[in-house]
Amino acid sequence: MRRSSVPLPGANNDPLGGSTQSAEAWAATDGQLIWDRPGYLIRRLHQIHVAMFVETVAGGSITPIQYGLLSILANRPNIDQLTIGEELGLDRANVTGILKRLESRRLVSRVVDPANRRRKLCLATSRGIALIRRFDEQMQACQRALLEPLSAPERKLFIELLSRLVQANNEFGRTALRPNGHALQLEAASPASPRRRRPPGRTGASGASG
């Protein structure tokens, strides 16, 4: 049983979660607080990864999400912002901000789609492609360093479990992840879980920064 779910002795807990118990008594009863919450641990691991990436790759001149977007465009040139969002699981506002920053550095260019002049197509410039090629080994080393505390079998299992969680919860994101324009079907995501409905009135947060 999770300790954080056990009513605290002596606390005046109301239905909305309020309590008159002192902070000292709370800490003494539940020292873990948020360390048994998967959401918090995932967020903390993401913070660690970003810090490692910035320290390791390209002298901190590019963020993980910028590098990821460039990698997408290097493999799928001339796609629009909506498609980029589906490739990365980001909403249009976040994609627009990241593209603007990359465009200002001449790593990405945007051109009007001849077939639909209201839409802009995006592609990595030669400078952008050169950047991701130049720092590919540093990026790979950063991924290895993140998983280094785990044994080889643990790393494989960790990726499989992450993949399964992403697929099972994909619909809760503000923008669903659709690699190569297809519904997410990760190889490690079986057994398939029943499709769950988003709770009414709630939206997923992308948590992205460019």
Domain co-membership, 71 together with 47: yes
63 within domain boundaries:
yes
Rg (C-alpha) for the chain, rounded Å, is 21
66 occurs within a structural domain? yes
pLDDT more than 90, % of the chain: 52
Indicate whether 39 and 133 sit together in one domain: yes
User: Do 67 and 121 share a domain, yes or no?
Assistant: yes
pLDDT tens digits for range 156-192: 999 999 999 998 988 887 777 777 655 555 544 444 4
Task: Tell me the DSSP string of 128-143.
Answer: HHHHHHHTHHHHHHHH
Question: Which range has the worst mean pLDDT, 15-19, 90-94, 185-189?
Answer: 185-189
Strands (DSSP E) along 31-174, which ranges?
79-80, 108-113, 116-124
Q: Is the pLDDT of residue 83 over 60?
A: yes
pLDDT, position 190: 43
Are 89 and 158 members of one domain?
no
Say if residue 64 is preceded by a cis peptide, omega within 30 of 0.
no
Is there a single domain that holds both residue 64 and residue 164?
Answer: no
- Report pLDDT for 79: 93
pLDDT tens for residues 115-171?
Answer: 888 899 999 999 999 999 999 999 999 999 999 999 999 999 999 999 999 989 888
- Compute the distance between CA of residue 84 and CA of residue 96 in angstroms, rounded to an integer: 10
* For residue 51, pLDDT beyond 60: yes
pLDDT above 90: residue 198: no
Residue 188 lies in a domain: yes
Where is average pLDDT lowest: 32-41, 43-52, 57-66, 98-107?
32-41
- The residue among 78, 69, 74 whose CA lies nearest residue 111 is 78
Closest by alpha carbon to 189, among 156, 162, 149, 151? 162
Given this model, what pLDDT does residue 36 score?
Answer: 85
Domain CATH code at residue 145: 1.10.10.10
Return d(Cα 146, Cα 15) in angstroms, integer. 41
Domain count for the chain, please give it. Answer: 2
What is the share, in percent, of the chain residues with pLDDT greater than 70? 69
139 in the same domain as 38:
yes
The reply to whether 131 falls in a domain is yes
The domain of 184 spans 150-192
* Residue 181 and residue 104 share a domain: no
Same domain, 129 and 183: no
Mark whether 142 and 154 lie in a shared domain.
Answer: no
Is residue 5 in some structural domain? Answer: no
Residues 57 and 123 in one domain: yes
Q: Write down the mean pLDDT value for the chain.
A: 80
Asked if residue 8 is part of any domain, the answer here is no
pLDDT at 29 over 70: no
| Domain match, 130 and 63 both | yes
Convert the pLDDT of each residue in 52-62 to its tens digit: 999 999 999 99
Query: Do the domain assignments include residue 67?
Result: yes
Distance from C-alpha of 44 to C-alpha of 30, rounded to nearest angstrom: 20
- Measured on CA atoms in the order 176, 75, 107, 65, is the torsion positive or negative? positive
Report if residue 18 sits inside a domain: no
- Do 111 and 61 belong together in one domain? yes
